[in-house]
Chain A
């Protein structure tokens, strides 16, 4: 059996109601768990981009990508390995304001992790960190002892090292 690994699937599509359902149905049909999913506009006006992270064999991801590509409103679907992409995730950490002022150490954590403080209020402050998974996880572990009120992490966003040439397809 071929080993499973992480693949980033990029889908360029029209921006229509229901397309997410159609895309997720292809994963459902093959009993594949989606590890993360992000949708956003792309570099082309009115073209949307899905970034989906999955763990499976390359043989399987090839077939899934072809089935995604086959959907009428999908302009083009690709898959890439981590080595072929530049990728990041964003995380937000909500911490009690008391800790910021009482625990000197927390300021060092923020500085050392290159995180940003997004907002500060009397009750809480919010830290933002963008980076690789292990970086946002490290910050999570470092902040945890001071009491995290909320934590959330985005899906992976990624760009590829090689061009995708979507504009050519649309010509």
Chain B
């Protein structure tokens, strides 16, 4: 088959005299992009015109707001492991991307954003829909570049994809002036494999690996905290092998969730502000702390002055700027975690640490009595968020992708959702972007169409990007949308209750009829207010082959516990 022979490093055949706009599409195809999210407008019309011509090869999803395009691209990237692509016009189109770009930057999500820009002769003249998106996006992009000549397009696009996906992934923004889209040139494409000023992955140093192995082999109470690095490095199998051989209890950060199945015997739960009791308490008791593909976010560590001071810290990390940033490492194991784990596992001894594990179980028992029991099997009349997650677990068996927004429901979803496989927990971690979940769920479903995708959203965040119901309806992506409605901005209300003497400043919401809104978008919808209706409603939703909306009216003033108050030590975690 002649047509099947494709040069893996890109087709270097020259296509004579094509427009910059066509070149952009051809670059995307060379990077195996088959799906992009975006919104057209004046300065990007030449590219949209080419999209029209290439629509059999490249699907464009019209979101209802550019922010939705970025979150959808993020959701797509998180479940597929590929680079998400979002596109927008200049000015307001470009500025609307910024929240999603900032979210992708702090959560290390590979994304390429393409923005149209006014013609190069108008740059700096305050032209219609001109904004300095390069200046605006600089602090929140891994890299950005403004193209003013059509001939720059292939090299810059190749570089953009390479930078977005390599090393510690992140968002790249390419701004293309309108004249560069119109101008013609002779096109050829070569994939980027090297940028001389950029070292994607640090070199592995065997002495660091040996030093780490020696400490691990001597440890009596070692403890692993794993983050998204394990997922981004596609090191789940290597990680599992390491955990099983060393017998070390392993806890996850919110973005590390699903890298190890939640019911794996070594999985001891979540660390951080609303994490589990044992992992937080025992952070301050372990003798060796292994941080694997995580960055010691303040929501994980609490007060750094009292964080794991007794422990030797081994930090497995791909980004040198993260080492010693928040927590000093005794040994930094630099490199791609898939490779460093492969190298260290033969050097560590097989152990079980039974009595150390027992401590986690003892704390689990306390947490179960004080918190979990009431959350999952409440005796109060009002529905809890936890029992909704429990029903979803029952229906999914742990096989669903859970996309959560930001707030109480997110913490409950991350605490209680079951996961059997990786790339299943999609949430806005570092930036805490309300409005993330609905568009991200659409992207997550398109990134993993064979999987069940359930969005768990609060009534606040839902209304920030509710217009993406239109996109879900138009694409018919079979996303299951669950709104846990407590008529409050629940997490802020919780803080107001605990730390601001119950002064509920602007956190109570008077909400519309969400079911009617969903039906207005021709999406099947149901509302649950009573416990006896919950299981059936969840099962009906999960059985649907179409997009589905379920509103669950939950107890208005429930709090998420355990909780480490802001600025407190991890071992000052409160159960009530």
Q: Is the CB of A17 within 8 A of B320?
A: no
A70–B146 Cα distance when bound, in Å, is 20
Contact of B135 among A13, A14, A21, A66 (CB under 8 A): A21
Whether B346 sits at the interface, judged by CB under 8 Å, is no
- Contacts A14-B197, A63-B325, A170-B196 hold; do A70 and B135 have CB atoms under 8 A apart? no
Give per-residue flags for A8-38: 1 if the beta carbon is below 8 A from chain B beta carbons, else 0.
Answer: 0000011011100110010011000000000
Q: Which residues of chain B in 184-198 are interfacial with respect to chain A, using CB atoms and an 8 Å cutoff?
A: 195-198
Instruction: Kindly list chain A residues whose C-beta atoms are within 8 Å of the C-beta of B320.
Output: 66, 69-70
Number of chain B residues close to chain A: CB under 8 A: 20
- Contacts A63-B321, A170-B196 hold; do A72 and B143 have CB atoms under 8 A apart? yes
A66–B135 Cα distance when bound, in Å, is 22
Instruction: Kindly list chain A residues whose C-beta atoms are within 8 Å of the C-beta of B143.
Output: 72-73
A74–B142 Cα distance when bound, in Å, is 12
Whether A4 sits at the interface, judged by CB under 8 Å, is no
A14–B196 Cα distance when bound, in Å, is 9
- Contacts A62-B324, A70-B320 hold; do A18 and B146 have CB atoms under 8 A apart? yes
Instruction: Kindly list chain A residues whose C-beta atoms are within 8 Å of the C-beta of B134.
Output: 18, 21
Distance from A15 Cβ to chain B, minimum over Cβ atoms (Å): 11
Q: Which residues of chain B in 287-338 are interfacial with respect to chain A, using CB atoms and an 8 Å cutoff?
A: 319-321, 323-325
Q: Is the CB of A21 within 8 A of B138?
A: yes
Number of chain A residues close to chain B: CB under 8 A: 21
Distance from A55 Cβ to chain B, minimum over Cβ atoms (Å): 21
Instruction: Kindly list chain B residues whose C-beta atoms are within 8 Å of the C-beta of A22.
Output: 138-139
Q: Is the CB of B139 within 8 A of A29?
A: yes
Q: Is the CB of B139 within 8 A of A72?
A: no
A1–B134 Cα distance when bound, in Å, is 37
Q: Is the CB of A72 within 8 A of B195?
A: yes
Q: Is the CB of B324 within 8 A of A74?
A: no
A62–B324 Cα distance when bound, in Å, is 9
Contact of A18 among B144, B196, B198, B323 (CB under 8 A): B144
A160–B288 Cα distance when bound, in Å, is 39
Whether B97 sits at the interface, judged by CB under 8 Å, is no
Instruction: Kindly list chain B residues whose C-beta atoms are within 8 Å of the C-beta of A63.
Output: 321, 324-325
Distance from B113 Cβ to chain A, minimum over Cβ atoms (Å): 16
Q: Is the CB of A72 within 8 A of B163?
A: yes
- Contacts A17-B146, A18-B146, A63-B325 hold; do A70 and B319 have CB atoms under 8 A apart? yes
Q: Which chain A residue lies CB-closest to B195?
A: A72
Whether A40 sits at the interface, judged by CB under 8 Å, is no
Q: Which chain B residue lies CB-closest to A75?
A: B197
Q: Is the CB of A13 within 8 A of B139?
A: no
A73–B199 Cα distance when bound, in Å, is 10
Give per-residue flags for B133-165: 1 if the beta carbon is below 8 A from chain A beta carbons, else 0.
Answer: 011001100111110000000000000000100
Whether A67 sits at the interface, judged by CB under 8 Å, is yes
- Contacts A17-B146, A18-B134 hold; do A69 and B321 have CB atoms under 8 A apart? yes
A17–B148 Cα distance when bound, in Å, is 12
16 A-B contacts, Cβ less than 8 Å apart?
A: A14-B197, A16-B145, A17-B146, A18-B135, A18-B138, A18-B144, A18-B146, A63-B324, A67-B321, A69-B320, A69-B321, A70-B320, A72-B163, A72-B195, A75-B197, A170-B196
Q: Could you tell me which B residues sit within 8 Å of A by CB distance?
A: 134-135, 138-139, 142-146, 163, 195-198, 319-321, 323-325
Q: Could you tell me which A residues sit within 8 Å of B by CB distance?
A: 13-14, 16-18, 21-22, 25, 28-29, 62-63, 66-67, 69-70, 72-75, 170
For the complex of A and B, the 10 pairs showing the least CB-CB separation, nearest first, are A66-B321, A25-B139, A72-B143, A75-B197, A70-B321, A72-B198, A22-B138, A67-B321, A21-B138, A73-B197
